[in-house]
Amino acid sequence: MPHITVTRAAFAVSLASAIGAFAFMRGARAGESYAVTHTDEQWQRLLGPARYQILRQNGTEPPGSSPLLNEHRAGLYYCAGCDLAAFSSKTKYDAGEGWPSFYSVLPNAIRTRADHELIEPRTEAHCRRCGSHLGHIFDDGPQPTGKRYCIDGLALKFVPGRSA
Ligand SMILES: [Zn+2]
C-alpha cells in the first residue's frame, strides 16, 4: 500500500506541473521574450501569493478591492513585477468598474495581445519589460484617447510625487 501512495503522490505532482505548464503557455509570456525574467518559483517568492496570481497567472482581483481606487495624489504607477513606470496619475480616472483605470499609458510600457478567455474578445495588457499581466484595455474610455486601461491594483505600485 505505501508503494501505491507514493505513486499517487508522484502522479499528483506531475499533473500539477502539467497544469502549471498549460497555464504558462496560455499566459501573456508565450512566444515573447522579456528583459526581466525569473523562474516561476522566484516569481512566487518575489510577489507573494496575491500579486503572483494576478501578474503571473492572469488573475483578476475582486472589483472594488484595490486601495488604489481611492488614490488621488500625483505620482506614478509602476509594474509590481519589475518597477517599470507604466501609468501616470494624470491619466487616472474613475471608470466606476471597480478597478484602477487610466485613459492612457506611459510610452513603451506595455504590450498587448488578444484575449479570448471570455466569449467577447478583449485586449490583454502586460508589462513590456517583465511580461507580467496588468489588466485589459477597452474602447469605452474618455477623450482624448477613448481607451480604458482597466488595471488590477495588485499589479501596480504607486509612488507619490512626480507624475511624468
Ligand atoms: Zn514589469
Give domain status of residue 9, yes or no: no
Instruction: Determine the distance separating the centroid of ligand 1 and the alpha carbon of 94, expressed in angstroms.
Output: 24
Instruction: Determine the distance separating the centroid of ligand 1 and the alpha carbon of 133, expressed in angstroms.
Output: 8
Instruction: Determine the distance separating the centroid of ligand 1 and the alpha carbon of 130, expressed in angstroms.
Output: 4
Rounded to whole angstroms, how far apart are CA atoms 137 and 112?
9
CATH number of the domain that residue 94 is part of: 2.170.150.20
Give domain status of residue 8, yes or no: no
Tell me the whole-structure pTM to 2 decimals. 0.80
Give domain status of residue 21, yes or no: no
112 and 125 in contact (C-beta within 8 Å)? Answer: yes
pLDDT per residue rounded down to tens, the chain (164 residues): 445 454 555 555 554 555 454 444 444 445 689 999 999 999 999 999 999 999 999 999 999 999 999 999 999 999 999 999 999 999 999 999 999 999 999 999 999 999 888 887 889 999 999 999 999 999 999 999 999 999 999 999 999 998 87
**Sheet with 75-79: strands ordered across:** 85-88, 75-79, 156-160
Give domain status of residue 79, yes or no: yes
Instruction: Determine the distance separating the centroid of ligand 1 and the alpha carbon of 6, expressed in angstroms.
Output: 39
**Active-site annotation holds for 79:** no
Give domain status of residue 110, yes or no: yes
Pairing outcome for strands 122-127 and 133-138: antiparallel
Give domain status of residue 55, yes or no: yes
Q: What is the pLDDT of residue 12?
A: 52
> Domain range holding 60?
31-160
Give domain status of residue 16, yes or no: no
Give residues with Cβ within 8 angstroms of 44, minimum separation 6: 52, 56
Q: How many domains does the chain have?
A: 1
Give domain status of residue 153, yes or no: yes
